[in-house]
Amino acid sequence: MTQITDILKSDSKFRYKLLSRLKQDCHYYLGYGNRNKKHLWANDEKTQLEVMKELWSSFTDDKKPEWLTWSDILDFESKMCEKNKVDEDII
């Protein structure tokens, strides 16, 4: 996977598009994707969300996407990582 520092050097148009792609991946993962990591760009829930947070934070306040809030990202995180937490508790 490309290092996040390389991604953050990209222009804002690319970062918006990638963030949108990551958001769509999360929706699919939680729905028809049946929580299969292969449907995530990062192939891992935690990494996917870390990249989303970094991308979202890379925009100035007046340029942050209106279609994705910090709260939305945290919501994805709680939904996507709760299964992993339950699995860890069983072990």
> What local confidence, expressed as pLDDT, does residue 48 receive?
97
> What local confidence, expressed as pLDDT, does residue 3 receive?
84
> What local confidence, expressed as pLDDT, does residue 37 receive?
96
Q: For residues 45 and 64, is the Cβ–Cβ distance under 8 A?
A: no
Q: Count CB-CB contacts under 10 A for residue 43.
A: 12
Distance CA 90, CA 38 (A): 23
- Flag whether pLDDT at 86 surpasses 50: no
> What local confidence, expressed as pLDDT, does residue 84 receive?
55
Task: List, for residues 20-63, the tens digit of each pLDDT value.
Answer: 999 999 999 999 999 999 999 999 999 999 999 999 999 999 99
Residue 87, judged by CB atoms within 10 A of its CB (0-12, 13-18, 19+), counts as exposed
